[in-house]
Chains A and B, each alone.
Chain A
Amino acid sequence: MSLKGKKQSFRILRGDSENSSMEDFEIELDEGMVVLDCVHRIQHEQQADLAVRWNCKAGKCGSCSAEINGKPKLMCMTRMNDVVAETPENIPIEIRPMKSFPLIKDLVTDVSWNYEIAQKIKPINGPDEKNWEFNQMEADRVQHFRECIECFLCSNTCHVLRDHDLFDNFAGPRNLVRLAQFEMHPLDKEDRIPEIKKDFGVEYCNITRCCTEVCPAGINITDDAIIPLKERVVDRYYDPIKMIWRKITGRK
C-alpha cells in the first residue's frame, strides 16, 4: 500500500514537566516513511523547536524511543504503513514521550537514571594476560546481551518502575541485562551475586515479560538474563544444601 500523498494527522505531546498538552499536526506522507520521518517533517515544515532525540535512524543507537499509539517503540523502526493500518480513519496517530522517565520537553525525557545505575555496576574483572581464550558458544551467550542498544524501552515498560516507581530499589531490565552480561562472561572473576540481590533488586521482577516484548533488539531479557540471575541468587541465599556445602568447604 503506497501512502504517497495521503494527508495524515498526528497528536503529539508538547511542553515540559510543568506544563504540557497534546497538539495536532497534519502532514502529507511519502512512500516508505517511518514515524521519525514524520516528526522531522513536522519539525522542518511547521514547528522548528519541536524536541526529539535521534541519531542513527537505523535502529542501532536507541535514541528515538517513544510511545506510538500507546506502544513503546523506536520511531525510526516503526513504519507508517503499519501505524496507519492500525489507526482508525480520522483519528490522529498519537506520539508521546516515554512515560516512566521525567519529561524534559516534547518527546525528550531525562534518562539519566539508567546511566547512574550503570555507574554502580562493577566493570569486568578478567585475567591480566592478553589474548583471552574462550569459544564461540561461550561468546554467544554474552553477545546476545551486548546487542542492547540502550533505548531504555524495557525500563520504561517495566511495571516495577512504571507503576510502582521503585527506581531506588530496582536496577531495571536494561541494567540487569548488563549484570547478566558480566556475570556470564566466561572469564569474569567478580562475585556480583550479593549486589544483584541487594543493590539491584533482581527479586522485584515478577516475570511478566513486558520488557522482552518491547525490546527492539530482540533480547530475551526475562528468560535469558533475569531468570538466570534470580536462580543464582536463590542458589546462594535460599538453597539449604548449598548453604551447608559452602560452610563445610568454605567455597562460595
Chain B
Amino acid sequence: MSIEYKHHEFDVIVIGAGGAGLRAAIESARSGVKTAIISKSLLGKAHTVMAVGGCAAALQNADPRDNWKVHFHDTMKGSKWLADWKMAEFHAKEAPERVRELEQWGAVFDRTNNNLINQRNFGGHTFPRLAHVGDSTGLEIIRTLQEKGIHSGIDIFMEYTVTDLFKDNEGKCIGCIGYNRVDGEIHTFSAKSIILATGGITRCWSICSGSWEYTGDGHALALKAGAELRDMEFVQFHPTGMVWPPSVRGILVTEGVRGEGGRLLNSENDRFMFNYVPEMFAGDHAETIEESNQWVEEVVSGKLATVRRPPELLTRDVVAKAINSEVKAGRGSPHGGAFLDISHRGEEAILKKLPSMHHQFKELAGVDISKEPMEVGPTAHYVMGGIRVDAKTQESCVSGLFACGEVASGLHGANRLGGNSLSDLIVFGKRAGEFASKNAKDKSQPTIDEDEIQKAASKILAPLMNKEGENPGKIYDELRDMMQENVGIIRTKEEMVSALTKLKEFDERQKNTFSGTSRKYNSGWHQALDLNNMIIVSKAATLAALTREESRGGHTRDDFPTPDDDYWGQILNIIWMDDGEVKIKQEEKEEMRDDLKDAIKEVKAMIAERAAEHGGEK
C-alpha cells in the first residue's frame, strides 16, 4: 500500500528560516520567482536569535581607517589562511551594503554620535567593525528579515522537517520530502532550485551553545545528495560559555563582554591572556594591563583607539585553548572554567550595553555581573565546515542545490571571527537567493519519481513501525557525551579512532528506537529522525579531524600540537559520501589572486606601523 502525501510546486525552495534562509528567500521572491521557506521551528525562533555581539561590516562609521581590505585581511588571518579568498573578498566588499539595507527594512542599530550605525570592537577585527544592538543583534536581524519576508510573497511552511532531497536522471536537484511536525503528514516539494540554510551541527556535543535544531540536517542532506563538504574538522569552541549550574552549561556568553572591556582571570587573580599571545599575533595586542585599560577607556568613550587592544580580544580559538590550559594547570574557577569580570564598567554601562547577559546570569545562575565575575568555559559554538559552494553563486557541485549561512563553508577556513557569521548570512544569503532564482528561470517544473518518494516516505515512518526499542532521547544524550569526550576541543588519534567505532554502534542503535506510534507532534519520533543526521555529521567531523595531523584554528591535536604550514596549511579536507559511507580526500587550496595578495601586504604594513609606534611605550 502506498503512503499518502501532499505535493507542492515551487521555483525555489529554501530550507531553513534563520538569517541566511530568510535573506535568500527575500532575494529569490524579489526576482519574481515562486519561493517557499521550509522551517523546523516557528518563524523567528531560529538560532540566529542567539547571535549577540554584532554584524561585521567595514562601514567606516566608528573608525574611518577601516575598509574592505582590512576586513578581508582580518578574515583571512583569522581563518589561519585557509578561507576561500574569493568568498572573503565578496564578504568584505558587500557586507556594508547589506547592513545598510537592513536598516531600510527596519533594523534599529545602536547609533554613533553622528547619528549613524555604531560599531563595536571584537576579537580579531583590527578596527571597531560590528554593527550591533546592545547584545541582541541576532534577534534584531532575524526580526527585521522576518518582517521584510512576510511581505515579500514567500510561502512559509512552519514546523516542517525535510528528510531527503531528490535528483533527476541528469543529477540535478529537483525537490525534497519531509513531514509536518504538528500533524505528522508527509509533504513533497518539487523545485527548480533548492537552497540549504539549515545552520550547524553543534548539538552533536554535550556542551554546546546550539539549539535542538543544530543536528546537521543540511550537511547530511547535501552529502546524501552527492554534494561535498569541506573543513569539517574545524569546530569553533567559543571560549565563553556558561559553566554553572550544570543545566545551563554551554549557553553563550557574548564576546561583546570582552569587547566592552571584560577581563579574563584565573583562580590566582592573574590576567592570564597576556601569557597566551601566539607568534602570529605578536605585537598586535597590548602588552601591559595599563595599555589594555587605556584602550578600553578610549573605546568606551567613543574615541579612536591610540593603543593596542587587550589580549582578551585574541581570536576565539586562542582564548578557548588558553582557558582550557589554565583549568588543566589547576588554576580554574570552582566549576572548571575561568573568571570573566566586567563589573569594573559599573551597573549603568552594563545594563545599557549588555542587558541580556545581565539578565541571563541573574536569572539562570543567580550571579549579578555588575558586581561579581562570571564563570566561563569553552562551548561548541559553530562549525566552520560545511557544504562546499561556488564563491559567487553559492551552488554546490550538485546542479540546482545551493547553500548559505553556517551550513555552507569557505568563508571562515580554520577559525571564524566573531561578527563574521551575521554578515556571512546576509551577504551569501543574498547571493544564494539571487543565483538560485536565476537558475530557476525558464525551466519547466520537474517531476519527482514516485518510487523514490515512496522509499523516502517509508524511511520517515520507519521509527513509528517499531513495537519496542530504546528511548531516542537516551541515544541522543549518549551520542553527545561521546563526541564531547572523544572529539572535543583537544583531540588525539586514539580517541577519534574509538569515536568512529562507537559511531557505528550508534548507527545500529538508532534503527531500534521507540517513541510510540502517533504521528501527532511526537517529539521522540522527530528526535529519532534527527539522530540519522547527527551520526552522519559526527562521522564527517571525526574523520576530517583524525586525518588532519596538525593543530590549526578550531582543530587542536594533542599528538600534533603545532601548525604544519608546509603541508596541511595548503590542504583542504573534502568529505563526500559513497553508497552511504562517509569518505575523505585532500585537495590543495587555490592560490590567492595577486591584487588580493597586495591588499594583504598593505594591511600588514599598516598594522606593523601601529605596533612599532606603541612598541616603545612598554
Task: Report B1-44 CB contacts with A as 1/0, cut-off 8 Å.
Answer: 00000000000000000000000000000000000000001111
B247 within 8 Å of A (CB atoms): yes
B206 within 8 Å of A (CB atoms): no
Task: State which residues 248-272 of B face A: CB under 8 Å.
Answer: 248, 251-252
Task: Report B321-365 CB contacts with A as 1/0, cut-off 8 Å.
Answer: 000000000000000000000000000000000001001100111
Interface size on A, residues (CB 8 A): 60
A53–B142 Cα gap in the complex (Å)? 19
Check if B246 sits within 8 Å of A139, measured CB to CB. no
Check if B140 sits within 8 Å of A146, measured CB to CB. yes
Contact pick for B139, options A40, A54, A60, CB 8 Å: A60
Minimum Cβ distance to chain B for residue A163 (Å): 25
Known: A34-B364, A79-B364. A123 touches B148 (CB 8 A): yes
Minimum Cβ distance to chain B for residue A124 (Å): 4
B244 within 8 Å of A (CB atoms): yes
Q: Which residue of B lies closest to A130 (CB)?
A: B100
Task: State which residues 30-64 of A face B: CB under 8 Å.
Answer: 30-34, 37, 40, 43-45, 48-63
Residues of B within 8 A of A (CB): 41-47, 49-50, 97, 100-101, 103-106, 108-111, 114-116, 118, 133-134, 136, 139-140, 143, 147-148, 150-151, 158, 182, 211-213, 244-248, 251-252, 356, 359-360, 363-365, 471-474, 476-477, 513-516, 518, 520-525, 527
Check if B246 sits within 8 Å of A31, measured CB to CB. yes
Residues of A within 8 A of B42 (CB): 53, 63, 111, 115
Minimum Cβ distance to chain B for residue A185 (Å): 7
A191–B42 Cα gap in the complex (Å)? 30
Check if B47 sits within 8 Å of A185, measured CB to CB. no
Check if B521 sits within 8 Å of A108, measured CB to CB. yes
Known: A34-B247, A182-B106. A55 touches B364 (CB 8 A): no
A112–B150 Cα gap in the complex (Å)? 13
Check if B363 sits within 8 Å of A59, measured CB to CB. yes
Check if B359 sits within 8 Å of A59, measured CB to CB. yes
Contact pick for B521, options A104, A133, A218, CB 8 Å: A104
A203 within 8 Å of B (CB atoms): no
Check if A123 sits within 8 Å of B106, measured CB to CB. yes
Which of A50, A59, A112, A132 gathers the greatest number of chain B CB atoms within 10 Å? A132
A-B contact pairs, 10 of them (CB 8 A): A32-B247, A62-B45, A111-B42, A112-B158, A119-B151, A124-B104, A126-B106, A127-B104, A139-B108, A150-B45
Q: Which residue of B lies closest to A121 (CB)?
A: B147
Residues of B within 8 A of A218 (CB): 359
A53–B100 Cα gap in the complex (Å)? 34
Check if B47 sits within 8 Å of A51, measured CB to CB. no
A62–B142 Cα gap in the complex (Å)? 13
Residues of A within 8 A of B151 (CB): 119, 123
Which of A58, A105, A185 gathers the greatest number of chain B CB atoms within 10 Å? A58
Contact pick for A77, options B213, B364, B525, CB 8 Å: B364
Check if B251 sits within 8 Å of A57, measured CB to CB. yes
A218–B355 Cα gap in the complex (Å)? 11
A100–B51 Cα gap in the complex (Å)? 31
Residues of A within 8 A of B356 (CB): 59-60
Check if A135 sits within 8 Å of B213, measured CB to CB. no
Residues of A within 8 A of B211 (CB): 54-57, 61
Check if A150 sits within 8 Å of B44, measured CB to CB. yes
Residues of A within 8 A of B105 (CB): 123-124
A63–B41 Cα gap in the complex (Å)? 9
Check if A48 sits within 8 Å of B472, measured CB to CB. yes
A118–B471 Cα gap in the complex (Å)? 39
Check if B520 sits within 8 Å of A105, measured CB to CB. yes
A57–B3 Cα gap in the complex (Å)? 36
Contact pick for B523, options A49, A62, A124, A150, CB 8 Å: A49
Known: A126-B104, A132-B104, A143-B134. A37 touches B147 (CB 8 A): no
Residues of A within 8 A of B148 (CB): 123
Residues of B within 8 A of A24 (CB): none
A98 within 8 Å of B (CB atoms): no
Check if A52 sits within 8 Å of B41, measured CB to CB. no
Check if B108 sits within 8 Å of A130, measured CB to CB. no
Check if B523 sits within 8 Å of A51, measured CB to CB. yes
Residues of B within 8 A of A118 (CB): 147, 150
A136 within 8 Å of B (CB atoms): yes
A106 within 8 Å of B (CB atoms): yes
The 7 closest A-B pairs by CB, nearest first: A32-B245, A48-B524, A44-B473, A48-B515, A124-B106, A51-B521, A105-B521
Check if B47 sits within 8 Å of A55, measured CB to CB. yes
A153–B206 Cα gap in the complex (Å)? 30
A32–B250 Cα gap in the complex (Å)? 14
Contact pick for B45, options A32, A37, A61, A79, CB 8 Å: A61
Check if B45 sits within 8 Å of A55, measured CB to CB. yes
A105–B516 Cα gap in the complex (Å)? 14
Minimum Cβ distance to chain B for residue A156 (Å): 15
Q: Which residue of A lies closest to B146 (CB)?
A: A118
Check if B49 sits within 8 Å of A60, measured CB to CB. yes
Check if B527 sits within 8 Å of A48, measured CB to CB. yes
Known: A147-B139, A182-B106, A185-B106. A55 touches B521 (CB 8 A): no
Residues of A within 8 A of B364 (CB): 32, 34, 58, 77, 79
A132–B47 Cα gap in the complex (Å)? 28
